Amino acid sequence: MDNPTGLPQFPESYWTASTEIPTFSALDRDLQTEVVVVGGGITGITAAYLLAREGVKVVLIDGGRLLNGTTAHTTAKVTAQHDLIYDELIRSEGEEQAKLFYQSQQEALDFVRATVEQENISCGWENHDAYVYTNTESQVSKLKDEYEAYVKLGIPGAYVDDIPLDVAAIGAVVMNHQAQFHPLEYLKGLLKDFTERGGQVFEETTASDLDHDETPTVFTASGNRIDAKYVIQATHFPYHDSLGFYFARMHAERSYVLGLKAKQPYPGGMYITAEEPKRSIRNARQADGSELIILGGQSHKTGQGICTINHYEELQMYAKNALELDEIAYRWSAQDLITGDKLPYIGRATASHDNIFVATGFRKWGMTNGTAAALLLTDLILDRANRYEELFSPSRGTSGKMLGSLIKDNADVAKHLIGGKLDFGSKRAEELSPDEGSVIRFNGKRAGAYRDEEGKLYLVDTTCTHMGCEVEWNNGERSWDCPCHGSRFSITGEVMEGPAEKPLKRLTP
């Protein structure tokens, strides 16, 4: 068994458990439209909503159910305080760019706030101050530098010695008037407006290929085509690389979340530690009026988490010791993509693609980044000027920092490409207990084995179909995860997250 005491056995996010999303049928014919939005998370739905409001004919497709990707597994703080970033951005990109970045995120937050009000969306919207705090002497100077950056950039905030939350802290930088919400309730509201304006939605419709001629065509796995003037790839990882080499320019990082039953009234505020391992804290009001504390943290590169259930256990221990909370109602985890310079890629997929757009690399701050992406892409499609176009351009110059990170990430890939092939695991298939997975040796070769709760054995070839690295078992989520570029596969080998497009080869036990 891969499941320790006290944790819900199967992961489920509070957001998906507490809302019902309308269902849509799969596409079963060819279509023509002005814009195809591929991917129904915050980025895709917001872009579809904005374009439809401008009278553009939009088709929105998703390979699975809508709102079942990273957006359903977030912690949903809506803030321009992306951890510690502004001092770093001033140093690497200059004050002007750092200020532009802040403004893009604050505008996205203001847009969501105004939309919630305008569309009258009931989504647990609450305004809170956001804190990055520390209880470690060595982090205090970093927090003070970040506050200096706030002052330079005109960000409303303060440096404080204590925080309202009852955890040990010796200093914090606070950004005023930020927010949190229930992301799926909010996006349900946008979706309603989109469909009422005639927007078409298709679920279980995977985009499998993309023809980028003068007018692009999206081909679906079921054999249909959608011809359009523009395509937005809002698939988290761009499903079609379009020679943008996104797999070599970003890496995927997973984080873990617990939904804990609160014992005390929550003092307000959203919190994240300055130091690793991160601890991210907010509250959420449940339908019955009771309060949930949402605690996140424990990030690691996808496929490199070793025994992933341990990360939930670490959070469980922190909840018990620091927050005195032990009743876990939900647990979930997810990953996000991080670029070399920590800024997202939003815009034309490459300089030679006028009509194919991507939006990715949100660094676990996609509530504002995804919204900023939708606002920017809407402007690009409507041929309107947008002052963030250059800042976020996927074709932007490769700064020294970006190149350094690129070399590091790709050296890491080389290490796993070679090292993974030599690791055959320590178990044999017969030794697996119910609900246990492991790398095994099968017919002399490396294979992935999972025995389900009824004792049925599933075997896959562990060679990742993207570029040949060896996938590793993720016992927290029961999936096969690739340590090179973050692709994930189900126990039957189906692709759960890209860049891989093809399933793992099934082996017959």
By CB under 6 A, residue 39 contacts ligand FAD: yes
The DSSP annotation for 445-476 comes to EEEEEEE-TTS-EEEEE-B-TTTSPBPEEETT
> What part of residues 204-263 is at the interface with ligand FES (CB under 6 A)?
247
Taking CB under 6 A as the criterion, the residue among 336, 341, 461, 470 binding ligand FAD is 336
Binding partner of 368, given ligand FES, ligand FAD, none, CB within 5-8 angstroms per partner class: ligand FAD
The count of residues interacting with ligand FES (CB under 6 A) is 13
CA distance 322 to 280: 13
CA distance 208 to 73: 24
User: Using CA atoms in the order 424, 425, 427, 428, what is the torsion angle rounded to 10 degrees?
Assistant: -20
Q: How far is the CB of 509 from ligand FES (least distance, A)?
A: 24
Q: Which is nearer to ligand FES, 143 or 504 (CB)?
A: 504
Q: Is 210 left (phi over 0), alpha (psi -120 to 50) or beta?
A: beta
By CB under 6 A, residue 402 contacts ligand FES: no
Over the window 354 to 393, marking each residue x when it contacts ligand FAD by CB under 6 A and - when it does not, the resulting string is --------x-xxxxx-x-----------------------
Amino acid (one-letter) located at 222 = S
Amino acid (one-letter) located at 292 = L
Over the window 189 to 228, marking each residue x when it contacts ligand FAD by CB under 6 A and - when it does not, the resulting string is -----------------xx---------------------
Q: Note the Cα 61 to chain centre separation in Å.
A: 18
Taking CB under 6 A as the criterion, the residue among 4, 64, 198, 434 binding ligand FAD is 64
Spatial contact of 362 and 370, defined as CB atoms under 8 Å apart: yes
Q: How far is the CB of 40 from ligand FAD (least distance, A)?
A: 5
What are the backbone dihedrals phi and psi of residue 153, each rounded to the nearest 5 degrees, phi first? -90, -5
By CB under 6 A, residue 105 contacts ligand FAD: no
Taking CB under 6 A as the criterion, the residue among 15, 239, 271, 442 binding ligand FAD is 239
By CB under 6 A, residue 406 contacts ligand FAD: no
Q: How far is the CB of 300 from ligand FES (least distance, A)?
A: 16
User: Using CA atoms in the order 223, 226, 230, 233, what is the torsion angle rounded to 10 degrees?
Assistant: -40
By CB under 6 A, residue 305 contacts ligand FAD: no
> What part of residues 111-170 is at the interface with ligand FAD (CB under 6 A)?
none
CA distance 15 to 343: 27
* CB-facing half-sphere around the CA of 291: CA atoms within 13 A: 13
Q: How far is the CB of 233 from ligand FES (least distance, A)?
A: 17
CA distance 493 to 504: 5
> What part of residues 455-494 is at the interface with ligand FES (CB under 6 A)?
464, 466-469, 482, 484-487
Selection from 53, 90, 333 nearest residue 199 by Cα: 53
| Contacting positions for ligand FAD (CB under 6 A) | 38-44, 61-64, 68-71, 73-77, 206-207, 234-236, 239, 255, 257, 296, 334-336, 362, 364-368, 370
Rule CB under 6 A: which residues touch ligand FES? Answer: 247, 464, 466-469, 482, 484-487, 499-500
